Amino acid sequence: MRFTKPALSFDDQLDRLVERGLTVPDRPRALHYLRNINYYRLGAYWLPFEADHATHQFQAGTSFEDVLNLYVFDREFRLLLLDVIERLEVSVRTQWAYHMAHQYGPHCYLDWNLFSPRWNHFQRLGSLEREVAKSQETFIRHLHSTYEEPLPPIWALVEILTFGQLSQWYKNTRHREDRNAVARPYGLDETILASLLHHLTTVRNHCAHHARLWNREFTVLPKVPRRGEAALVESLQPNGDRRIYNTLAMILYLMDQVSPNHSWRSRLLRLIEDYAVPVQDMGFPGDWQSHPLWLVR
Residue 183 is part of which domain span? Answer: 71-294
* Together in a domain, 194 and 229: yes
Reported as a pLDDT band with limits 50, 70 and 90, residue 143 is low
Mean pLDDT (whole number) for 256-284: 96
Residue 198 has pLDDT above 90, yes or no: yes
Q: Is residue 205 part of a domain?
A: yes
Are 129 and 273 within one domain?
yes
User: Are 89 and 174 in the same domain?
Assistant: yes
175 and 258 share one domain: yes
Residue % of the chain over a pLDDT of 90:
78
Confidence band of 190 (pLDDT split at 50, 70, 90): very high
* Residue 1 confidence (pLDDT): 83
| Predicted local confidence at residue 4, as pLDDT | 86
How much is the pTM? 0.92
| Same-domain pairing of 105 and 217 | yes
Residue 132 in any domain: the answer is yes
Look at residue 8 and tell me if it is in a domain: no
Q: pLDDT digit string (tens) for 1-47?
A: 888 888 999 999 999 999 999 999 999 999 999 999 999 999 999 99
**Does residue 279 belong to any structural domain of this protein?**
yes
The yes-or-no verdict on residue 147 having pLDDT over 70 is no
What does the DSSP assignment read for the chain? ----PPP--HHHHHHHHHHTT-B-S-HHHHHHHHHHS-HHHHHHHHGGGEEETTTTEEPTT-BHHHHHHHHHHHHHHHHHHHHHHHHHHHHHHHHHHHHHHHHH-TTGGG-GGGB-TTS-HHHHHHHHHHHHHH---HHHHHHHHHSS-SS--HHHHGGGS-HHHHHHHHHTBS-HHHHHHHHGGGT--HHHHHHHHHHHHHHHHHHHTT---TT---SS-PPPPSSS-HHHHTTSPPTT--SSHHHHHHHHHHHHHH-TT--HHHHHHHHHHHHT--GGGGT--TTGGGSGGGS--
Residue 178 — very low, low, confident or very high, per pLDDT cuts 50/70/90?
A: very high
Instruction: Identify whether residues 234 and 253 lie together within a single domain.
Output: yes
10 belongs to a structural domain: no
pLDDT tens string 179-188: 999 999 999 9
Give the pLDDT mean for 242-267: 96
Q: Please compute the mean of the pLDDT values over residues 192-212 and round it to a whole number.
A: 96
- Assign 63 a pLDDT band (cuts: 50, 70, 90): very high
User: Is it the case that residue 87 has pLDDT exceeding 70?
Assistant: yes
Give a yes or no: residue 13 inside a domain.
Answer: no
Residue ending a domain, choose from 5, 34, 62: 62
**Between 240 and 116, residue with greater pLDDT:** 116
Q: Are residues 80 and 182 in the same domain?
A: yes
How far is it, in rounded angstroms, from Cα 225 to Cα 221? 12
Domain count, the chain: 2
Q: Are 240 and 281 within one domain? A: yes
Does one domain contain both 157 and 57?
no
Among 8, 30, 62, where does a domain finish?
62
224, 78: one domain: yes
- Do 57 and 172 lie in one domain? The reply is no
Per-residue confidence band for 141, with pLDDT thresholds at 50, 70 and 90: confident
How much is the pLDDT for 137? Answer: 73
Residue 16 lies in a domain: no
Task: Identify whether residues 42 and 85 lie together within a single domain.
Answer: no
Q: Examine residue 181 and state whether it is found in any structural domain, yes or no.
A: yes
**Domain end call among 62, 88, 112:** 62
